[in-house]
A and B are shown apart, each in its own frame.
Chain A
Amino acid sequence: MLEPGAAVRILRRPAAKVCLGILIVVAAAAAFGPELFPERYREPGPLQYAPPSWQHPFGTDLNGRDVLYRVLLGARISLVVGLAGAAVSLFLGTAYGLVAGYAGGKIDNAMMRLVDIMYSVPRLIFILIFINAFDGHVREFAARLDWPWLVSYSRIVILIITLGLIEWLTMARIVRGQVLALKERSFIHAARVLGQSHLKIITRHLLPNVLPIIIVYLTLTVPAVILDESFLSFLGLGIQPPQASWGSLLAEGAQSINPLKIYWWLLFFPAVTMSTTLLALNYLGDRLRDTLDPRR
Chain B
Amino acid sequence: MLKLILRRLPALFFVLFCVITLTFFLVRLAPGGPFDRERKIPPAIEAQLLAKYKLDGPLWSQFTGYLADIARGDLRLSTKYRNRSVNEILAQTLPVTFALGGLAFLLATAGGVWLGTFAAVRRNTVADRLAMGGALLGLSIPMFVVGPILILVFGLWLKWLPVGGWGSPAQLVLPAITLAIPFAAVIARLMRTSLLEVLNQDFVRTARAKGLPDRTVVYKHALRVAILPVITYLGPLAAHLLTGSIVVETVFNIPGAGGFFVNSILNRDGFLLGGVVIVYCALLIVFNLLVDASYALLDRRIRVDA
Contact = CB atoms under 8 A, between A and B. Distances in A.
Q: For the side of the interface on B, what is the size category?
A: 35 or more
Interface stretch (A4-12, A32-40, A122-130): A122-130
Contacts of A134: 29
Given A133-B27, A136-B31, A254-B148, A122 B156 contact: no
Contacts of B240: 122
B247 A235 contact: yes
Given A126-B22, A227-B142, A234 B247 contact: yes
B140 A278 contact: yes
Interface in B234-256: 235-236, 238-240, 242-243, 246-247, 250-251
A295 B196 CA distance: 10
A262 B281 contact: no
A128 B152 contact: no
B31 A230 contact: no
B38 to A, nearest CB: 18
B225 interface: no
Contacts of A251: 144
Given A121-B19, A257-B152, A278-B140, A235 B29 contact: no
Given A133-B29, A223-B140, A250-B142, A119 B239 contact: yes
A282 B139 contact: yes
Interface residue range, chain A: 35 or more
A201 interface: no
Contacts of A121: 15, 19, 239, 281, 284
A223 to B, nearest CB: 7
B261 A130 contact: no
A133 B288 contact: no
Nearest to A253: B148
B280 A125 contact: yes
Nearest to B22: A126
B116 to A, nearest CB: 13
Interface centre among B15, B31, B32 (most CB of A within 10 A): B31
Contacts of B26: 126, 129-130, 132-133
Given A254-B148, A271-B145, A275-B140, A136 B30 contact: yes
Contacts of A271: 141, 145, 149
Contacts of B242: 122, 125
B193 interface: yes
B195 to A, nearest CB: 12
B236 A124 contact: no
Interface in A227-267: 227, 230-231, 234-237, 247, 250-251, 253-254, 257, 259, 262, 264, 267
